[in-house]
Structure 1
Amino acid sequence: MSSEISIETLLTRRKKGYSLEAPFYTSEEIFKLDMEIIFGRHWLHVGVEPDVPEPGDVMVVDIGKTSVIVMRDDDMELRAYHNVCRHRGARIILKEKTSVGNLVCSYHQWTYGQDGELLFAEHMGNDFDRKCRNLKKVHIRSVGGLIFICLAEEAPDDIDRMAAAIEPYILPHDLKNCKVAKTVDLIEKGNWKLTMENNRECYHCVGNHPELTIPLFEYGFGFAPDGTNPKRMEHAAKYEALVQSCHLGWEAAGFPSREVERLTDVTGFRTERLPLDGAGEAHTKDTRSASQKLLGSITERKLGALSFWTQPNSWNHFMSDHIVTFSVFPLGPDRNLLRTRWLVHKDAVEGVDYDLNRLTEVWEATNQQDADLVEISHNGAISPAYEPGPYSPYTEPLVEKFTDWYVSRMSEHLLGKQAAVGVAAE
């Protein structure tokens, strides 16, 4: 970032309805602030309860320079700690996933209980107070089986509001009684915000996502009424009628479906269940269920797809037979990791109830296609010719809402709450 332009100036002069200025995507200084303010002070989606299904199961999550232990204790409660021994700072858990009794640092065998208390530290003398050397806790919360953590000393309390609104939508899919069929990590060569912006629109879908668009209605991912012919307007009207009809039927059957959008909250989120084309069952090439064993107590395959987005780093899709979750972790100004999980019923048997390739092929292809788009976007942002461009009011309003959320959160921490309100209003 040029030393002549401060981030405060960039935030203040941000033009609503337009993409961000280049330094927000390219600057090492702004990236460090992103990690401190966005990823250091907000609730982050990092996994699912089936990542740690049994007592003693452990998962390690890396967020920038911070490593976090997520574990299931003997009482089946979720706990999270900084993955740093309180002796001389060595990492305690070295594998991404493992199972333990206690947490033991391999360096000098300092041993911690599942509650984080230091139980054993040899050769420290009679005056050593173990109580002062317990593991440092990290805030952790499950929302319907989705695991969120917050690295701040005080976590935003509006996650309770999100949970109250969202859990009625996702609990019927019984994520806690699923299993992870596959996890794929994909390194995208672009700024994390470009990944999130790309996800928040489907303007690009036609022509870039031949697999994903098979089960999607065109009118469900952005429709511009200007310049269209009467036939397309008629199709759009029929789609809106279909959505209303499906919502009424699904909700009568106990599946909340109507849009809930609170993307401007500190813990911003959005959800809605929408119909799928074809057989209407799943994000698969033939639009039919990928697993024969439906989730929870669901008996109706044609439930469309429930989308659930959270600020700043996730999106998720819930169907009658499987769930796909996505979380983004920045690695640098020009790199980020996209972690995708596919979940099926815990009793579903691979090769019997589901074919793994068929389950994953649509989103594996789509993720790579999106990664390619993020890369060309980032390569454009580093060009001297780059300047912020206008968002489509028809197909990119949710990109604007993500960008506006990001600018508001950065502004509040750097400029103060009143200034942030002024920036958001401009």
Structure 2
Amino acid sequence: MVSPASAPIADLLAARRPGHSLPAGLYTRQDVFDADLQVFFGQHWILAGLECELREPGDVQTLDIGRASVILLRDDDLQIRAFHNVCRHRGARLLKAGPGVVSRLVCPYHQWTYDTDGSLLHAGHMGADFDRGCKSLKPVALRLVGGLIYICLSDNPPKDIDVLAQTMEPRLAPYGLREAKVAHQTDVIEHGNWKLTMENNRECYHCAGSHPELCVSFIAYDFGFDAATMSPDERARAEAHVAEREAREARWEAEGHPSRTVARVVDCATNFRTQRLAIAGKGESHTPDASAASAKLLGSMTRKDLGDTHLWHHNGWNHFMGDHAVCSIVIPLGPDSTLVRTKWLVHQDAVEGVDYDLHKLTSVWIATTDQDAELVRVSHAGVQDPAYEPGPYSRHTEQELDNFAGWYVDRMRVHGY
């Protein structure tokens, strides 16, 4: 009998039961992690950054993804470009991970020099017959969607990114993300597999017991409930909320604010889900009292009461509100280690201490991310335990986890596992 520790990945995928979490090896094994990087972070579109981080010519962000590294920059013609962070001479890294400003890209090894459009400008001692024209930096597939930067490391990126773009461009346009600015950023290392990070984010079953700060502005009923187990009063409140949500959604749509759920989470390559949800309490923003954090609203927004436009994809989540936005990017670091990079965006002219208080702006999602990191840690510890066996998802509050697990298995098989 083949042990789970050495079973082929295909056997682990075949063992996954619909409606249940994944077999342990799909969360814990190094060979599965390597396959995940190759499939989901090499062959699919991933959220990599924000256009507003590359405001001026020469602004650059370098992102490491497994063994790959990608340079995002704004060139001298103000176009955003993406390149593999590999010198065309002998492969040295051009830039370290993180932000920076460059006038040219100069290899630290032998000083081969590239223009911001990727063309090779200088390569010393290569002979008079050396053709610089065929040694430009290798481009990375790039798609700009409403101010978000998506990249794909494949030479044949999925074409259904068009659906995401067509859906999100009109939804994101009023927020003016391309002209926003990053007010704050945190990097949190979660000690768990990236799929556990994504699963944790795709349900709010745990919210009431784990996220007191977030629950001030989140409405738990929006993320599912089991009416059969509720008291009559609880069921009446939940059903009233659903009716109110549907009426509000229709009203927002009629007023020209796209709100209805668009979900491409199964039978697709580019996985995403979006909807506009009301904010609880004062109804304006994800802050300690649910009131707006910034006096200057984003983009062309004129109202604070238009809720929270959510956008989930397979390596992150986003919340777009009238006064600010929160964008989180997930990058796997190892089978048991995941980077969650969160950015808070405000209007480009908003001034800290005048238009917004940084603590009010950031405290809810800082607390929530730290709490989630602990939940992911205990989840990963559990799936490593010999006693672990895949457990059943709630049909009422964890359907998105079942969708994600099914999509994961399907995409692995599409790519030969």
- Which category of TM-score, normalised to the shorter sequence, fits these structures? over 0.9
* 2:315 aligns with one of 313, 316, 334: 313
Residues 1:76 and 2:78 aligned together? yes
The one of 204, 207, 214 equivalent to 1:212 is 214
* Structure 2: tracts of 5 or more residues without a match: none
Q: Is the 8 A contact 1:317 1:325 kept in 2?
A: yes
**CA shift for structure 1 position 132:** 2.5
Which of 246, 260, 283 matches 2:248?
246
The 8 Å contact of residues 328 and 339 in structure 1, kept in 2 or not, is answered as yes
- For 2:158 and 2:287, how far apart are their aligned partners in 1? 37
C-alpha distance in 1 between matches for 2:343 and 2:204? 21
Distance 2:72 2:137 in 1: 13
Q: Secondary structure at the match of 2:188?
A: strand
Q: CA deviation at 1:412?
A: 1.1
Task: Give the aligned partner of residue 405 of structure 1.
Answer: 407
Amino acid at match of 1:267: T
Specify which of 266, 269, 279 is matched with residue 266 of structure 1: 269
Give deviations 1:383-423, integer Å, cap 9, x for gaps. Answer: 100000000000000011111111110011125xxxxxxxx
Deviation of 1:69 (Å): 0.3
Q: Is contact 1:27-1:333 (8 Å) kept?
A: yes
* Offset at residue 301 of structure 1 (A): 0.7
**Residues 206 and 213, structure 1, Cα contact 8 Å, conserved in 2:** yes
Equivalent in the alignment of 1:27: 29
Kindly provide the amino acid, as one letter, of the partner of residue 243 in structure 2: A
Aligned residue in 2 for 1:421: none
Q: Does 1:332 align with 2:334?
A: yes
Residues 81, 142 of structure 2: 8 Å contact kept: yes
The equivalent of 1:171 in structure 2 is: 173
For the 8 Å contact 1:327–1:338, the answer to whether it is kept is yes
**Which runs of 4 or more aligned residues in structure 1 lie more than 6 Å from their structure 2 counterparts after TM superposition?**
none
The answer to whether 1:294 aligns with 2:316 is: no
Tell me the distance in 2 between the aligned counterparts of 1:64 and 1:4: 23
* Residue number among 24, 36, 54 corresponding to 2:38 in the alignment: 36
1:279 match:
282
SS at match of 2:42: helix
Identify if the C-alpha distance between structure 1 residues 105 and 288 changes in structure 2 by more than 3 Å, giving closer, same or farther.
Answer: same
Q: Distance between the aligned counterparts of 2:125 and 2:414, measured in 1?
A: 48
Matched position secondary structure for 1:203 = coil
CA contact (8 A) 1:177 1:346 kept: yes
Over 3 Å counting, the alpha-carbon distance change for 1:332 and 1:318 in structure 2 is same
Taking every aligned residue pair, what percent have the same amino acid on both sides? Answer: 53
Query: Offset of 1:251 from its aligned partner?
Result: 2.1
What corresponds to 2:164 in structure 1? 162
Aligned to 2:394, which of 392, 395, 403? Answer: 392
Distance in 1, matches of 2:53 and 2:404, equals 28
Aligned pair count reads: 414
Query: What per-residue deviation string (whole Å, max 9, x for no partner) do you get for residues 116-148 of structure 1?
Result: 111111111112121232111111111111111
State the Cα distance separating 1:2 from its structure 2 match. Answer: 4.3
Amino acid at match of 1:70: L
Contact 1:22 1:387 in 2 (8 A): yes
CA deviation string 1:13-32 (max 9, x = no partner): 32100000000011001111
Structure 2 CA distance for aligned equivalents of residues 320 and 174 of structure 1: 10
Q: TM-score w.r.t. structure 2 length?
A: 0.97
2:187 to 185, 190, 195: 185
The 10-residue stretch of structure 1 (73-82 or 319-328) with the greater mean CA deviation from structure 2: 73-82
Q: Give CA deviations for 1:350-377 in whole Å, capped at 9, x if unaligned.
A: 0000011110000000000000000000
CA distance in 2, matches of 1:222, 1:409: 26
Contact 1:172 1:255 in 2 (8 A): no
5+ residue gaps in structure 1? 416-426
Task: Please state whether the residue corresponding to 2:209 is helix, strand or coil.
Answer: coil
Deviation at 1:241, TM superposition (A): 2.1
Alpha-carbon distance in 2 for matches of 1:389, 1:12? 16
SS of the residue 1:277 aligns to: coil
Following superposition, the deviation at residue 4 of structure 1 comes to: 4.6
Hey, what does 2:53 align to over in structure 1? 51
Contact 2:72 2:81 in 1 (8 A): yes
Structure 1 counterpart of 2:410, one-letter code: S
Report the more deviating stretch, 222-231 or 350-359: 222-231
- Write the distance in 2 (CA, Å) between the matches of 1:95 and 1:135: 17
